[in-house]
């Protein structure tokens, strides 16, 4: 592919990820407490960073929650700034991870990029709550419950599903191979 085609592919993939932000939570809502447990809006932001790089990933992480809010009213206005910050970090840092982590094994690159981004995004969201949005009322217990204990199933699902989707996109020839066969 030429750089011009890569840029077009990245823009289209980013637009698709932004468009998925209001859709994926609808399916998660079919399960009791599914939106809280599965963190479904995180999937498009994380995947976008892995596939398109840090800047497109950042754009998807910022614009996805905004688009979802405009279309569905979700996330609620009070949670929107934290979601934009968290998902923006996810897109940015998965993209940076894929740019700089080159273990020679795709699965390792994907998992490390995802783990690093998920930790940084959760720290950023917690700091925003502690320093800005819930200043003085936010505790370490609230943070670990909201960002880790309450979303543990989502973390596991993200670590299983997102690499599988990446592999499928690569197998289908929709994204370039990271490592030649």
Kindly list the distances between the CA atom of residue 49 and the CA atoms of 133, 144, 171, 177, in Å, as whole numbers in the listed order: 26, 25, 18, 16
Residue 141 reports pLDDT greater than 90 = no
Q: Check pLDDT > 60 for residue 102.
A: yes
Residue 1 has pLDDT above 70, yes or no: no
Q: Does this model's pTM top 0.75?
A: yes
Rounded CA-CA distance 150/69 in Å is 22
pLDDT band at 147 (very low <50, low <70, confident <90, very high): confident
User: For position 138, what pLDDT does the model report?
Assistant: 72
- CATH numbers and ranges of domains, the chain: 3-171 (1.10.1760.20)
Q: What is the mean pLDDT of residues 12-38?
A: 88
């Amino acid at each position: 592919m030429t750089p011009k085609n890569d840029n077009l592919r990245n823009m289209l993939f980013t637009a698709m990820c932004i468009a998925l932000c209001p859709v994926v939570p609808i399916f998660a809502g079919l399960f009791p407490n599914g939106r809280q447990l599965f963190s479904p809006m995180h999937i498009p932001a994380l995947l976008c960073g892995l596939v398109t790089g840090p800047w497109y990933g950042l754009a998807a992480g910022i614009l996805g929650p905004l688009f979802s809010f405009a279309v569905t009213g979700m996330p609620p206005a009070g949670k929107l700034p934290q979601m934009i910050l968290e998902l923006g970090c996810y897109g940015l840092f998965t993209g940076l991870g894929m740019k700089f982590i080159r273990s020679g094994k795709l699965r390792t690159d994907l998992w490390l990029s995802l783990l690093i981004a998920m930790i940084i995004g959760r720290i950023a969201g917690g700091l925003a709550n502690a320093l800005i949005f819930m200043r003085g009322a936010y505790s370490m217990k609230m943070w670990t419950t909201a960002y880790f204990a309450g979303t543990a199933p989502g973390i596991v699902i993200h670590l299983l599903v997102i690499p599988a989707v990446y592999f499928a996109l690569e197998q289908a020839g929709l994204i370039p191979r990271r490592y030649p066969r």
